[in-house]
Structure 1
Amino acid sequence: MKISSFISLFFFLSIHIFPTYAQSQDDGARLYSHHCTLCHGNKGMGDGYIPMKLKGYPQTNLFDEQNAIDKESIIDVISRGFPNEDIIKFMPPWEQELTKEEISDLATFVLFLRSDTEAALRTLSKYTDKLDKTVRDGKIIFETRCALCHGKLGQGDGRMARIIKTPPPANLTRSILNPVQMRLIIKLGGQEVGRSPKMPPWGDFMTDNEVDAVVDFIDTLKD
């Protein structure tokens, strides 16, 4: 009888509790993709568009646990903003725009991201990969990630061109790579596709739709 009761309890928990927690993680990922990527980045590493563009912007890496370690403190930060006068003006309070359940789901996802990063990023990619990315987005990403080497207009004259000489950064306005080849070199890096090892891989930092947006922007530099 006791074994039977234990089995019944196990199935009850499996059906009613575990899926609920998984749903909270999934809902948190969806909310994160819509509300948080601009600052925290599409993988939580603090490399969103805003901090990459603004000098002196506070670090927004969610893997830094020193300020919000447990779920309660994460909920507090999401709800009321960051408890630091230098940062609070950048971290908006969400308690007026999100429900308590949504904030709780976001906190659950942050903990999920820290404890099982690969699984959390797979869940998040279901939503971030669907976000529409335009040529304008591609321009912003290019300016924050690519212009340092390739220059603002893609002519291979970025600041790092004074250091990288063999070979120098590519002049993208003269590139003969087709879009498929361009996507591969951005995602995998130069060395993996038989080109310059100085070209780093960006696949771990950019979603597929962001890579596509960058490729579309580079295409405008050739016109």
Structure 2
Amino acid sequence: MKISNVFILIAYLLLTSSMTIEAKNLDSGAEIYSDRCVLCHGNKGMGDGYIPMRLKGYPQTSLFESPKATDKTALVKVISKGVLIDTVNEYMPPWESELTEEQISDLADFVSYLRSDTENALIMLEKHTRKLDKTVRDGRVIFETRCALCHGKLGLGDGRMARIIKNPPPADLTKSILTPHQMGLIIKLGGQEVGRSPKMPPWGDFMTDNEVNAVVDFIDTLKD
């Protein structure tokens, strides 16, 4: 083998090795995000986690809108110190005592990746968020924050928006005869995509499959 070919092979191996390490670090960051950050920042980083959706006056937590940190160094600092930094809101916990420096670095890399290549980052993230168990209790929380405005807290179709949405009005879910699969499709795709009311919005871009299933399970309890 010629010397030039040897150098090309070595360069290729080094490049592919570094790419593998980078992918591994990003995947580690995605796993940490799914475990530690979803409650506030949401399962897609849009700031629609369970906590801010339920508490009035909760600070904006989107990772895309007016971010507090825009580079790796700043992200590491915010993740590590949290509320200990004056410009960070009081609900952001400092993670330096619970995560290693390597984990914080991986998480910072993943947040940067989420902002720069959102579509592929979300595919990576979903591998971890879909593993999280979602119970009927989770479904109730999601229903109350996303569905009750139209369908009402008890699913009777009497939410606040029912005064505005007419012809057809929000469905009375307690009388629904849809199968769980059909209900899940309507939640994910919206009413128009499945030949139902176009006023029913699609939630597939905001909710994971296991969250949709949890909402479907909760709706089933409203029929009792």
Same fold (TM over 0.5): yes
CA 1:86–1:24: 2 relative to 1, 3 Å: closer
CA change 1:216–1:66 in 2 (3 A) is closer
Equivalence for 2:54: 53
Q: Paired residue for 2:11?
A: 9
Q: Give the TM-score, by structure 2 length.
A: 0.95
Residues 70-219 of structure 1: pairs in structure 2 closer than 5 A: 70-82=71-83, 83-84=85-86, 87=89, 89-219=90-220
Q: Which residue of structure 2 aligns with residue 44 of structure 1?
A: 45
Greater displacement, 119-128 / 78-87: 78-87
Structure 1 alignment gaps of length 5 or more: none
Q: Deviation string for 1:66-110 (max 9, x for gaps)?
A: 4200011001000000534671x2000000000000000100110
Which deviations, in whole Å up to 9, do the C-alpha atoms of 1:153-212 show, x marking residues without a partner?
A: 000000100110111000001111110100000000000000000000000100000000
Amino acid at match of 1:9: A
Instruction: Quote the Cα distance in structure 2 between the aligned partners of 1:213 and 1:174.
Output: 19
Distance 1:159 1:86, change over 3 A: farther
Secondary structure (helix, strand or coil) at the match of 1:43 reads coil
Deviations 1:108-134 (A, max 9, x none): 110110111111111111110010000
Q: For residues 21-61 of structure 1, what are the alpha-carbon distances to aligned partners after superposition, in whole Å with 9 as ceiling and x for unaligned?
A: 10000000001111000000001110000000001111111
Distance 1:65 1:74 in 2: 13
Paired AA for residue 174 in structure 1? K
Matched residues, number: 221
CA distance, structure 1, for counterparts of residue 10 and residue 78 of structure 2: 39
Contact 2:68 / 2:88 at 8 angstroms: preserved in 1? no
Distance in 2 (alpha carbons) for counterparts of 1:125 and 1:221: 29
CA distance in 2, matches of 1:132, 1:63: 27
Give how far 1:2 is off: 4.3
What secondary structure is seen at the aligned counterpart in 2 of 1:81? helix
Q: Which runs of 4+ in 1 moved over 2 A?
A: 1-4, 82-86
Q: Is the 8 A contact 2:190 2:201 kept in 1?
A: yes
